[in-house]
């Protein structure tokens, strides 16, 4: 049986009282509708008046409830519809959809049943198994956006205490750079370290994403990407030299990928080079952290660092566009003079 999602409005005092009494609002609303349907089929109530829309407890006790059991709920159908909702209804990024679907599957496997059969204690027991905040986010989305908002309110996403983030020194980056065997990996490292862009944004670059004259880079917007902001950034003269050593942009198609290896290969080889250089483990995320800390030490304001990293919201970009124009950001970037080599 397919469940149809809908929103209903309640008087605040009714909602508050129901919550205090532990009443499942969604289930109660469904049962009330079933009673109303039964009453409509059965004609007037005993006193001769039409069946009311607001049903009394007496009517509820007397009515025949159409029972919805777990036999009516298909977990596999839920997983299919939930993933489709992530992709189509909510337009989530591919990676986010994959994470949500993965934890939805884990929940179904844990319950060995459909999510609508879960109690609050079942969900607590499930969440205890995972430290990943994506697990809590998935539960909240399943029950808060897909099914039952009341149940989702009981599960909060924990805000971990801030911890200092260590960045490598420039000398460590240089050592790792020289341990990399492939020229395209060296180019990727320099681009990541001096642009502040995400791994996927760098490794998906094609010639059309570059403004070669100004050393500008405009990351390609991924299909369905709504969970992360994107703007534009720049790269350093040493990254520019390496790019032109490795690639002849005039001979490349505009949509030809610069980096042909799998994304995880870069991360793995960066780690191997770190071990060979006897430095802290360098990853694409560490390079992004290094960029932020290096730009800050060079006097760049946090709001502009956020813009380079693609962390500035569309509303801020729209309302303060003059502060985030490519020309203004280029001047700020050039004045900072970031480099690795």
pLDDT in tens, 38-89: 655 555 444 444 443 343 333 333 333 333 344 557 888 889 889 988 888 7
Give the confidence band of 117 by pLDDT, cuts at 50, 70, 90.
confident
Q: Which pLDDT does position 126 carry in this prediction?
A: 86
- The domain locations on the chain are 12-68, 72-152, 170-336
What is the spatial order of strands in the sheet that 233-234 belongs to? 210-211, 216-217, 233-234
Which residue's entry shows tokens 């004609």? 43
| From the candidate CATH numbers 1.10.3090.10, 3.40.80.10, 1.10.443.10, 1.25.40.10, the one assigned to the domain spanning 170-336 | 1.10.443.10
> Nearest Cα to 201, choosing from 265, 133, 142, 284?
284
- The token duo for 228 is 């992360």
Concatenating the DSSP letter of every residue in 53-83 gives: SS--HHHHHHSPP----GGG--HHHHHHHHH
Rounded CA-CA distance 116/15 in Å is 21
Tell me the HSE value of 18 on the side-chain side, using a 13 A CA sphere. Answer: 15
Share of the chain above pLDDT 70, in %: 72
What is the β-pairing status of strands 233-234 and 210-211?
Answer: unpaired
| From the candidate CATH numbers 1.10.260, 2.30.110, 1.10.287, 1.10.150, the one assigned to the domain spanning 72-152 | 1.10.150
In a 10 Å sphere around its CB, with 0-12 CB exposed, 13-18 middle and 19+ buried, how is residue 332 labelled?
A: buried
Name the pTM for this structure. 0.57
Rounded CA-CA distance 319/230 in Å is 16
3-state helix, strand, coil in the chain (%, to 5): 60, 0, 40
Specify whether the CB–CB gap between 238 and 231 falls below 8 A.
Answer: no
Q: Which pLDDT does position 65 carry in this prediction?
A: 31
Highest average pLDDT, of 26-30, 185-189, 314-318, comes from 185-189
pLDDT digits (tens, 9 = 90+) for 145-176: 887 555 545 555 455 555 567 889 999 999 99
Q: Which pLDDT does position 170 carry in this prediction?
A: 95
Q: At 273, phi and psi to the nearest 5?
A: -65, -35
Q: What does pLDDT average to over the chain?
A: 79
Q: Which pLDDT does position 222 carry in this prediction?
A: 57
- DSSP three-state, residue 47: coil
DSSP type of residue 211:
E
């Amino acid at each position: 049986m397919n469940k149809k999602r809908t929103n209903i409005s309640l008087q605040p005092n009714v909602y508050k009282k129901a919550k205090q009494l532990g009443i499942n609002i969604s289930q109660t609303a469904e049962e009330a509708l079933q009673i109303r349907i039964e009453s409509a089929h059965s004609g007037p109530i005993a006193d001769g008046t039409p069946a009311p829309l607001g049903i009394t407890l007496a009517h509820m006790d007397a009515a025949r409830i159409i029972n919805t059991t777990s036999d009516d709920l298909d977990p596999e159908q839920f997983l299919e519809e939930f993933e489709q909702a992530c992709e189509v209804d909510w337009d989530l990024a591919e990676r986010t959809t994959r994470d949500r679907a993965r934890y939805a599957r884990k929940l179904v496997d844990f319950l060995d049943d459909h999510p609508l059969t879960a109690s609050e204690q079942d969900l607590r027991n499930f969440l205890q198994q995972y430290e990943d905040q994506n697990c809590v986010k998935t539960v909240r989305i399943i029950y808060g956006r897909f099914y039952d908002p009341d149940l989702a309110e009981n599960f909060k996403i924990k805000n971990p205490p801030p911890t200092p983030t260590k960045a490598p020194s420039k000398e460590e980056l240089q050592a790792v750079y020289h341990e990399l065997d492939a020229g395209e990996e060296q180019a990727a490292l320099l681009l990541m370290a001096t642009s502040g862009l995400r791994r996927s944004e760098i490794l998906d670059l094609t010639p059309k994403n570059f403004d070669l004259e100004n050393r500008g880079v405009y990351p390609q917007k991924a299909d369905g990407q709504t969970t992360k902001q994107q703007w534009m950034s720049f790269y350093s003269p040493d990254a520019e030299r390496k790019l032109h050593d490795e690639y002849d942009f005039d001979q490349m198609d505009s949509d030809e990928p610069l980096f042909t290896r799998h994304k995880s290969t870069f991360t793995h080889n960066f780690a191997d080079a770190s071990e060979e250089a006897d430095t802290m483990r360098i990853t694409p995320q560490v390079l992004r952290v290094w960029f932020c800390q290096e730009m800050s030490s060079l006097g760049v304001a946090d709001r502009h660092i956020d813009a380079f990293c693609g962390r500035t919201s569309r509303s801020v970009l729209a309302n303060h566009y003059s502060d985030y124009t490519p020309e203004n950001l280029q001047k700020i970037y050039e004045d900072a003079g970031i480099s690795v080599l």
